[in-house]
Amino acid sequence: MKRVTEEQPNYDTNVENEDTLTNRQGHPVTNNQHMRTVGNRGPATLENYDFIEKISHFDRERVPERVVHARGAGAHGYFEAYGAVGDEKVSKYTRAKLFQEKGKKTPVFVRFSSVIHGGHSPETLRDPRGFAVKFYTEDGNWDLVGNNLKIFFIRDAIKFPDMIHAFKPDPVTNIQDSERFFDFCASSPESFHMVTFVYSPWGIPANYRMMQGSGVNTYKWVNNEGKAVLVKYHWEPKQGIRNLTQKEAEEIQAKNFNHATQDLYNAIEKGDFPEWELLVQTMSDDDHPELDFDPLDDTKLWPEDLFPWKAVGKMVLDRNPEDYFTEVEQAAFGTGVLVDGLDFSDDKMLQGRTFSYSDTQRHRVGANYLQLPINAPKKRVATNQSGGQMAYRLDRGPFQNPHINYEPSILDGLKEATQLGKEYTPMIKGNLVRESIERQNNTKQAGETYRQFEQWEKTELISNLVNDLSACDPRIQEKMIALAEEADEDYGRHLREGLAHAKSNNSSQKPLGNKDGDKAPEQAVNKSHEAEPY
């Protein structure tokens, strides 16, 4: 008798390879061209899982845009330490491990940005540029968050929201307005030094590779004995420094509003890796009554002849991001992210930024933003923190009792680290007050900067200021002229004469420094071409 054998059933429903499209649940997608409908004309049905997952994720592709520094570009690289501060051992000043050994390399990610304008704004607009570096050190992350210009508009963080509101577009017209900008600056005389830089060619860097960087704020270095010095950080590009005039920037913008991002990407792709040298200035940790400014005032430069720049290492950017959103957009920086051997100063802008920056990231990216690969330290992490939106792992130690999510504990919970370096314990004494610093000296350094400009830079500065101030209220004009005269006689005279001869029929509703932007709506009508409806 012949034995009957059953055929093995075939449970395969589709062919799936390594490059097969799936949905977020891992289900292979067999039709990505058509949603499920009643007949080929519709209507659609609610059980279109693949479509609903796809479109609902699309609706949520953007996290909230940064209020400031929205427009940016980034790259990966490394920082190589010199093992010294100038000619001295670095250990004399700081015990931070990344600086100690000559040739020691630390991975970094850098994000460059504009400040005021939105995520797809032209990279030719007059604006400071952000220069933020994330060091993935063996002790955890260090974020050095600064700008291309080495000073700032204000010295007290309570003024920051008002400053940004004034520089952002008008809340009614949604158009940037130079009168609003100068209204704030004329009423905040400490801003005049920064205005002098921003309205000069330094306000429009040629690209990201050819601009300086600065930590702007004053920090502290702490050595193994618990002794501290004040420190300022400066990035100097090995590619040289290049800036644009207003006219040159407008010509570039007419052709390509992504030119700086493209320049950075292309340079790295072809192996022309941009480099910066990191230099520091140090100062003893006291209020230095011999100076005519407060060393914690971020509207001031430390004179290089008194506090020389000393090289501590170099940075090389040698790899472009694989995905812009995952790395550049979700990169999250904070001025409070320091490692052992680095510390805060009492700089009031730094104190305010230290809360604001990390708080912004928790709002913008989420409570677990530090679990994202671009933000996560490249070392072990063990905390008692858990929960929150989008958590995808537990930051637990390998031998931690999973029932113990608190400290202290004797039941195999996490333990505190043993600190070897001596704690820095500065003496702090004084009444709690709401007062400005005593040595304000708001315009002296602006005058020094003006005198150091080349003649073409002075001419460009006055032209840009006159162009925008001529559309402002006369009271604002007089305040700005008075600040310029206080800074430098020649500066003030040229500004006054320029405004006296300027036409005042132009509008302030246009990008900063732009000469004829207010005429663009009319030009669009006059130069356009009629068309018939179709």
CA dihedral 353, 357, 360, 361 (to 10 degrees): -170
Residue 44's beta-bridge partner residues? 37
- What are the structure tokens assigned to 64, written together? 């909230």
Q: 76 with 107: CB under 8 angstroms? A: yes
Distance, CA of 352 to CA of 152 (rounded, Å): 14
Query: 10 Å Cβ neighbour count for 281?
Result: 21
- 288 assigned to active site: no
> What is the chain's Cα-based Rg?
28
Catalytic residue among 141, 147, 223, 243: 147
Give CA–CA dist 466/498, Å, rounded. Answer: 6
- Outline where 80-186 has alpha helix (H): 160-167, 178-186
69 is catalytic: yes
Nearest to 262 by CA among 345, 315, 320: 320
Which entry of 69, 76, 117, 234 is annotated as an active-site residue? 69
Nearest 10 degrees: CA dihedral of 494, 495, 496, 502? 110
Report whether 109 contacts 301 (CB < 8 A): no
Per the CB < 8 A criterion, the answer to whether 267 and 206 are in contact is no
CB burial of residue 194 (10 Å; 0-12, 13-18, 19+) = buried
Angle, helices 444-452/489-501, rounded to nearest 10 degrees: 80
The residues annotated as belonging to the active site are 69, 147
